[in-house]
Amino acid sequence: MTIIWSLSIVFFVSCESAGDKRLDFALEQAGENRIELEKVLNYYQNDSLKLEAARFLIRNMPGHDGYEDDRLDSVKAVMKAAVELNIGGYLPDSEWKRKWD
């Protein structure tokens, strides 16, 4: 019985440490945003359900980022010009046109 109890404790401790390692990795990858993520964790420390939700989101953040680049602005300019010039007879609906304006 002691062996089963010991193995159970080891199993639960190893599961927790894997989650903690992923959380630490995500916080390291956040760079300058780490401070903001730690503020979120501190804010929810008295609500276990929301704290676990925040940890889940932060653990799964690595690899889910966006881009900021001047080339993206050039795509917007080309699309806006196409709309204004009605190139190829293509005229998008008003909602699509509004988003690009």
Closest CA to 59 of 17, 100, 8: 17
pLDDT of residue 86: 64
Contact 28, 39 (CB under 8 A): no
Task: Provide the 10 A C-beta neighbour count for residue 98.
Answer: 9
Q: What pTM value is reported for the model?
A: 0.51
Contact 72, 78 (CB under 8 A): no
Q: What angle do CA 63, 64, 67 make, to 5 degrees?
A: 105
Sites in the chain below the pLDDT cut of 70: 1-3, 5-17, 70-72, 83, 85-101
Write the DSSP symbol of residue 85.
H
